[in-house]
Amino acid sequence: MVFSHRMAALAAVVVIPLGIAATSYALTDSPESPKVPPKVELDSGSPSATPTSPKPTATPSDEVVSRPPVSDDDDDDDGPGDDG
């Protein structure tokens, strides 16, 4: 009797993931190859210069920020155990 329960558990461990994988495979769409347009046309305006972007004055890595002071003061804690 114990042998059959172990076999049933082993079968469930193997069959359930295989069933999930088979269902997932059956429900997936077959992807079509991407369709490329036959010809790409650019705007027929006059050629323009390369666009220039304004340079930032300071990047975040250039800024220096001071650390807040470190204190081990528990006087200002208003927790449930602070009575005075």
State the number of CA atoms in the 13 A half-sphere of 1 facing the CB: 0
Structural domain boundaries in the chain: 1-27
- State the first-to-last Cα distance of the chain, in angstroms, to the nearest integer: 67
Q: Return the pLDDT at 34.
A: 75
Average of per-residue pLDDT values in the chain: 75
Q: Return the pLDDT at 18.
A: 95
Could you tell me the pTM of the whole model? 0.33
Could you report the per-residue pLDDT of 20-56, keeping only the tens digit for each?
Answer: 999 998 888 777 777 877 887 777 666 555 555 555 5
Instruction: Tell me how far apart the alpha carbons of residues 64 and 69 are, in angstroms, rounded to a whole number.
Output: 16
Instruction: Tell me how far apart the alpha carbons of residues 18 and 12 are, in angstroms, rounded to a whole number.
Output: 10
